[in-house]
Structure 1
Amino acid sequence: MTIVDTAKLPWDQRQRFMLLEARMIWDGQIRVGDLRDAFDISTRKAEKDFQLYRARCPNNLVLDNETGIYRADDRFEPAFLRGTAEEFLTVLRHHDLAQDLPLAMAAGGQVPAETLDLPQREFDVRVLQRIGGAIRERRWLAIEYQSMNRPDPRRLLIAPHSLAYVGRWHARAYSNDHQAFRDFLLSRIIGLPELGEAANIDSDQDWDWRNHVCVRIGPHPQLTDPQKRVVEHDFGMRRGMLEKNLRLALVPYLLKMLNVGRGDVDRPAAEQQIVLLNQAELDAFNRLG
């Protein structure tokens, strides 16, 4: 893996190197003029950037002397980007809104691609403001909350201490009515919450939030070895396993996202391609219920 000390480089030069690598990843080639035009610098300065980049990452670029085009070497490894699927998706989603960013400039107009995003659970921005204020000032917050267990909204008094995004935004809070720490969906808070008095609630008492556990995922044991290798690569597994260390309170959300839990191995391998490996451990923490 290419190891580059980026801390000693000026910020603007790191940005240009990020664009260079992004173009190599998503377009496979780049010219000196591309870097020059994107950042409005001189040709000489762009040429120096290429010289410095090649000195630091000698195995990444190959120059075609006839065309002046730099192409990616077969040994190419990004040093200023992660080169992950998540990074690529983020760029595709946002390049129209942030065309001045190096990664956005690299992807804009270069890659014919479409993204299908699931609908986001919207919430009133004022709800977020009040929750943020209650967290900072450690105060009670009165909310009207519509759960799916009750036909009508219910007024609750909560003391939030953290926010969590698990496909939807939640507030982690102590509920005075339930006498327990719980998660509250921001999208299900109706109207404007009311800030109350100081809440003498210690968030360290939130055991499920304070403590962590490792969730272990692996390929379905009935898959063939080639199928297992593909699944392992698909999920970024190492030595046949994906390990995610996270707060106990967030475990059920991850399991739901991955569609794993009890009875994984009993389902057809072609449908249930991954399985939860440490069911007993999570069951002991009451995370599978």
Structure 2
Amino acid sequence: MTPQFDYITKRRFHFLELIIYWEGRLTTNHLQTHFAMSRSSASHIIQEYLQFYPNSLSYNASIKGYEATKYFNPCQTELDLNTYLKLAYQSEDAYTYQHFTRLNSPLADIQPAKVKGVLQALNQQKRIDVGYASVSSPDFESRIISPHNLVFDGMRWHVRAYCEKNRDFRDFVLTRFNGAYEFEGNAEYDQSHDTLWQTQLDVVIEPDPRLTPERAHIIALDHQMTKQPNGRYQRTINVRAALLLYLLKQLHLDSYQAKPEAQQIILSPECLEALKPYMAW
């Protein structure tokens, strides 16, 4: 049974595991610097971790730090490189992490005043009358929506909501709200009613078949594909049907390039056929 930790312990264990997972060496200095604590407190956290997960770490005198053993099995989620780098940037040890460069989305900044009402409706499960502009209707018009999730597609923030005008669930770009809002009571629809949100899809990608075997192998490495029994390199990515088009854009599969070197990857033919009902652009 997985232990239940309070917020502070969970946060500290998460950081500890990220350091071990990505750097391969943990010292008390990592914890001292990141959490602005004493050496004894940092040492206590490591020992506390070992009480819950015995033999998962061992002290190596030659590297003057702890390293993972074969019994190390991270208990925290979100151990991806992006999460590691975000936490690394929060460290006061700027010199250590000065060689990390992150390109943020130029479209990600949102004006709080424009979306406060939407966020309140989302958190309180309310219907809200908002002013919204779209490409097809550039003038702000009143929309009554019931938000249920915020979504970042890699470039822009959206809110997934039930739209009473369309009588269906839609994605609304946060920057297109004008900041005018009025609450309209409790929401009657939530994510459990959103069929596309509840539907899980498997997106199967593979190297462009026009590539030479040598180049296809490199593309497979880039995208963490493995060789299947059918002899093709493939990778399966699970996604909500409501977010499929965003994923395809991230993978540059929303258009087809004339040159295979530019295209690099495609949806497997079988996957393409299965996803067609969800790919209305």
Cα distance, 1:88–1:43 mapped onto 2, change above 3 Å:
closer
Deviation at 1:260, TM superposition (A): 0.4
Amino acid at match of 1:268: K
Deviation at 1:184, TM superposition (A): 0.7
Residues in 2 aligned to 1:274 and 1:281: alpha-carbon distance in whole angstroms = 17
Q: Which residue of the other structure, out of 74, 95, 114, is the alignment partner of 1:109?
A: 95
Equivalent residue for 1:89? 85
What is the aligned-residue RMSD (CA, Å)? 4.3
Q: Which residue of the other structure, out of 256, 277, 280, is the alignment partner of 2:273?
A: 280
Amino acid at match of 2:259: P
Q: TM-score under structure 2 normalisation?
A: 0.71
Equivalent residue for 1:243? 236
Deviation at 1:154, TM superposition (A): 2.0
Structure 2 residue matching 1:196: 3-state secondary structure: strand
Q: Give the conservation status (yes or no) of the 8 Å contact 2:143–2:164.
A: yes
Equivalent residue for 1:22? 19
Cα distance, 1:160–1:228 mapped onto 2, change above 3 Å:
same
Q: Which residue of the other structure, out of 160, 168, 177, is the alignment partner of 1:180?
A: 168
Q: Give the conservation status (yes or no) of the 8 Å contact 2:248–2:254.
A: yes
Residues in 2 aligned to 1:16 and 1:170: alpha-carbon distance in whole angstroms = 31
Structure 1 residue matching 2:261: 3-state secondary structure: coil
Q: Give the conservation status (yes or no) of the 8 Å contact 2:241–2:278.
A: no
Q: Which runs of 5+ in 2 are unaligned?
A: 228-232
Residues in 1 aligned to 2:238 and 2:168: alpha-carbon distance in whole angstroms = 24
1:32-91 Cα offsets, whole Å, 9 max, x none, are: 777778742349958x95xx69x8257x77533xxx745979x99885787643233323
Cα distance, 1:31–1:128 mapped onto 2, change above 3 Å:
closer
Aligned residues: 267
Q: Give the conservation status (yes or no) of the 8 Å contact 1:158–1:174.
A: yes
Say if 2:198 is the partner of 1:210.
Answer: yes
Q: Give the conservation status (yes or no) of the 8 Å contact 1:160–1:171.
A: yes
Residues in 1 aligned to 2:39 and 2:116: alpha-carbon distance in whole angstroms = 42
Say if 2:131 is the partner of 1:134.
Answer: no
Cα distance, 1:91–1:224 mapped onto 2, change above 3 Å:
farther
Residues in 2 aligned to 1:29 and 1:120: alpha-carbon distance in whole angstroms = 36
Cα distance, 1:215–1:33 mapped onto 2, change above 3 Å:
closer
Residues in 2 aligned to 1:190 and 1:180: alpha-carbon distance in whole angstroms = 22
Structure 1 residue matching 2:262: 3-state secondary structure: coil
Q: Which has the larger radius of gyration?
A: 1
Deviation at 1:271, TM superposition (A): 1.1
Equivalent residue for 2:215? 227
Q: TM-score under structure 1 normalisation?
A: 0.70
Amino acid at match of 2:206: G
Question: Percent of pairs identical after alignment?
Answer: 23
Structure 2 residue matching 1:110: 3-state secondary structure: coil
Deviation at 1:183, TM superposition (A): 1.0
Q: Which runs of 5+ in 1 are unaligned?
A: 96-103
Cα distance, 1:280–1:20 mapped onto 2, change above 3 Å:
closer
Cα distance, 1:69–1:24 mapped onto 2, change above 3 Å:
farther
Cα distance, 1:249–1:110 mapped onto 2, change above 3 Å:
same
Equivalent residue for 2:140? 153
Between 122-131 and 186-195, the greater mean CA deviation after superposition:
122-131
